[in-house]
A and B are shown apart, each in its own frame.
Chain A
């Protein structure tokens, strides 16, 4: 059983549409991270959220940490083909280890 459940597993949309991906758990976390991974590359950190209810924006990407710090969402406005990739959420289990969700594969069609 994965600590972090991501949904949906796959998402294919047209350029210009909006999308939301989710990261859920039954555990409470002190912080949560979102990464994006492009084909043939390693994950790249997008953001870390640390406060319950926190909203962070990165251009067209909006990240929210749930009030209870058990879940998070990533919303992309007016998606572009460059947003295509695997989106991973992760939490720090201790000082040395990140636990990752299985990821959401996003495809934005031109």
Chain B
């Protein structure tokens, strides 16, 4: 059981480039989220989805797009990378929204924008 799989593990981008961070889960979870983690700031929610075809913005959505065409996949797209987007990105999933059962996290993508 793989859980939540994120690719790539590491990525370096130049300012202005675009890319997609991949996230897949095999637990048939309805809820999926993207967080970014920066030193001293904890994890901040970028976008989330409550099911296939349904997405919404979190705390820090600017510069990012998401889509959810299947239950399993929830890619995060950086439209035009900026140095402020240098961070570690985590994808997470939950069956019940995370309040009681919590979220299962992937191992993260460390992104550097130069």
Contact = CB atoms under 8 A, between A and B. Distances in A.
Given A43-B105, A96-B50, A101 B98 contact: no
Interface stretch (B14-22, B41-49, B61-69, B72-80): B41-49
Given A41-B108, A42-B108, A50 B43 contact: no
Interface string B78-103: 00000000000010100001111111
- Interface residues on chain B, size class: 20 to 34
Interface in A82-97: 88, 90, 92, 94-97
Contacts of B42: 2, 4, 88, 100-103
Given A2-B42, A41-B107, A103-B42, A97 B48 contact: yes
Interface string B35-59: 0000011111100101000001010
Interface residues of A, number: 27
Interface stretch (A27-35, A58-66, A69-77): A27-35
A30 B98 CA distance: 13
A96 B43 contact: no
B102 A48 contact: yes
CB-based closest 3 A-B pairs: A42-B105, A92-B99, A45-B102
Interface centre among A41, A92, A95, A98 (most CB of B within 10 A): A98
Contact of B97 (A41, A90, A96, A103): A96
A18 B87 CA distance: 33
Contacts of B43: 43, 88, 90, 98, 100
Given A42-B105, A43-B105, A44-B105, A102 B41 contact: yes
Given A2-B42, A88-B43, A95 B108 contact: no
A96 B43 CA distance: 14
Interface centre among B4, B101, B105 (most CB of A within 10 A): B105
A95 to B, nearest CB: 4
17 contacts: A30-B99, A31-B99, A33-B102, A40-B107, A42-B92, A42-B106, A43-B90, A90-B102, A92-B98, A95-B31, A96-B97, A96-B98, A98-B43, A98-B98, A100-B42, A100-B43, A102-B41
